[in-house]
């Protein structure tokens, strides 16, 4: 008896070479629009997030990521924004003037980075103390 339902190949989209980053990111965007998030393009996300974390990006690729980001659900874009915020906080940006000029060209990314920095600053400051309410103060 032969098994007819077993397939040895995963039907995900293959990742193209580095010189086709725009094509890869367009595929990721199309998959997100269609709701095919991690099943088919999870390996794309992992590769680009690894590149971002290793600082193996140029401004052109960062601009492509920012331009082709899918609003509300783009882990690659979120990874880029978090990494920029983290580098700015630690002061490890290799080219601060270039990064500022890049963020000026991509205001949506700049606002996201600033929002992340604001959230981190709030968390670092600690929770806001609650006011104590005295109930039945007249009975004391």
pLDDT of residue 56: 83
For the stretch 23-31, contacts whose Cβ atoms lie closer than 8 Å and that sit 24 or more positions apart, written own/partner, are 24/48, 25/64, 25/65, 25/68, 25/76, 26/68, 28/68, 28/70, 28/74, 28/76, 29/68, 29/69, 29/70, 29/74
State yes or no: pLDDT of 75 exceeds 80.
yes
Domain locations in the chain as residue ranges: 18-125
- pLDDT tier, 50 (very low <50, low <70, confident <90, very high otherwise): very high
DSSP letter (8 states) at residue 138: G
pLDDT in tens, 94-125: 899 999 999 999 999 999 999 999 886 666 65
């Amino acid at each position: 008896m032969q098994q007819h339902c077993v397939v040895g190949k995963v039907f995900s989209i293959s990742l193209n070479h580095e010189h086709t980053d725009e094509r890869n990111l367009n595929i990721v965007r199309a998959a997100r629009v269609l709701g095919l998030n991690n099943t088919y393009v999870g390996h794309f996300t992992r590769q680009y997030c690894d590149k971002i974390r290793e600082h193996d990006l140029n401004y052109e690729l960062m601009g492509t990521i920012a331009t082709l980001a899918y609003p509300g659900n783009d882990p690659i874009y979120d990874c880029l924004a978090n990494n920029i915020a983290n580098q700015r906080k630690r002061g490890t940006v290799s080219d601060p003037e270039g990064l500022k000029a890049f963020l000026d060209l991509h205001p949506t990314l700049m606002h996201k980075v600033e929002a992340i920095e604001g959230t981190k600053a709030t968390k670092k400051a600690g929770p806001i103390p609650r006011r104590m309410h005295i109930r039945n103060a007249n009975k004391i």
